[in-house]
Amino acid sequence: MSTFDYDLLIIGGGGSAGFTAATTAMKSGAKVAMVESGRLGGLCILAGCMPSKTLLHSAAEVSRLRVDGMAAYGEIHQYTRGVVDYLATGRSEAVKTKQAKGLKVIEGRACLSGPHEVMVGGRAISAQSIVIATGSVEQVPPVPGLAESGYLDSDAFMRLEALPSSLIVLGGGTQAVELAQFSARMGLEVTVVQRSDHLISDEDPRVGQLIAESLEADGATVLTGTELKQVRRQDGRVTAEFEQGGRARSVTAEALLLSLGRVANTEGLGLAEAGVELGPKGQVVVDRHMRSSLAGIFAAGDVTGGPMVVNLAIQQGKAAGYNASHDQPEEVEDQVLPRAIFSDPQFARVGLNHAEAHAGGLDFIEASEDLGEMAVARTYPRPVKGFLTLRALRRGGRLIGAELVAPEASLMIHDMAVALKLGGTAADIAAIPYIHPCLSEAGEFAAGRLARQVEP
């Protein structure tokens, strides 16, 4: 008989990674408990993917119908909260179903007190294995005056019952550009202040340039290559002071949205004190089996510091839950991970980008297709802007990566994801007779050029 209270204990089980870990372990007959201090659902449901997409879709309708965004916001806000409540209720019901099958849910904050024990509200709970799945929090830089001036994070922004008339967006990543575009289309005066030379700084500069052009077409101002110096509030308005091109500049608005990225939510968990290795941004360092440096301790999802997307969290949750309840571990299946930014146009990619392929020492080739030059682009009433780049090994032509800017890039990227998953080549894609006319033909055209560069 086990000397532990549980076979597996999950800290932060209400999100995608933790809930998947619990479900996976229970399938093998493990006695599982989860400790959760907040509302079930995780970032995606409560303040990330789902509410932000609801806002973006609503703003697109506001723009298309040319209605007053400020006047429409009350209804949009109520609809968005309804979406969140519906999905959060669904997660709660799914947890209740697991509880009926033996899952134990413990409310409170957990702190690791050893490799097999956590403390929750003064109570010690033991488990043979523990999975850390506490997600991420907004990164707050030590900028003078920022904390005192007050700011919105994504969670607070999506709870706003009324929109400000003007908004400063600090950051140029996924969350920043999505909420900036929503705000601009709703009629706010929006200024994006980005440190790097282009938006979406980890990707091809063309991606950031096209998204910046779209934001500006919606009325936003995009300032890149900046160094934030100070934030101050006066007379109910907030001012961000920064340098750009060696010149001191400032911008003032009614509100400021802090969107400089997210970091692992590990503060107060007692991980380092227990011997769990943490990375430079507080993330739990894990191997391909989602094992931490301390035997019996696993981690999954945003808390591991990788790409903070739900499809990866689910894959990591499966691996953590399985490996925590089996003697023969399995590696996480994350080699093919499509991801997207739901701006207009959208950006999506799968596999290695140029910088990653180069850093990996691969001998590769590339080919691109400009969507705006395709015949089908002429059929759209508004100009189509975007491109597809395919990347393959020079010898043999096996595809290793693709990135795409297009109106529906999040849908179009999946044929490339399937090709990568199955070890497909440029010639394989080029041989597919794509439907004509459609933007997806970019895959056939780019692959054809890529195939002609392949060496045997």
pLDDT for res 1: 44
Q: Please, what are the domains in the chain? A: 6-138+263-323 (3.50.50.60), 146-260 (3.50.50.60), 339-451 (3.30.390.30)
Residues 6+ positions from 303 with CB-CB distance below 8 Å: 12, 17, 132, 133, 134, 135, 136, 264, 265, 266, 283, 284
pLDDT for res 95: 94
Q: Which residues of the chain have pLDDT under 50?
A: 1
DSSP assignment of 26-70, as one string? HHTT--EEEEESS-TTHHHHHHSHHHHHHHHHHHHHHHHHT--HH
Residue 385 token pair = 């802007």
pLDDT for res 335: 86
pLDDT for res 369: 97
Give the pLDDT confidence of 167-213 residue by residue, as tens digits.
Answer: 999 999 999 999 999 999 999 999 999 999 999 999 999 999 999 99
Q: What is the pTM of this model?
A: 0.94
pLDDT for res 47: 86
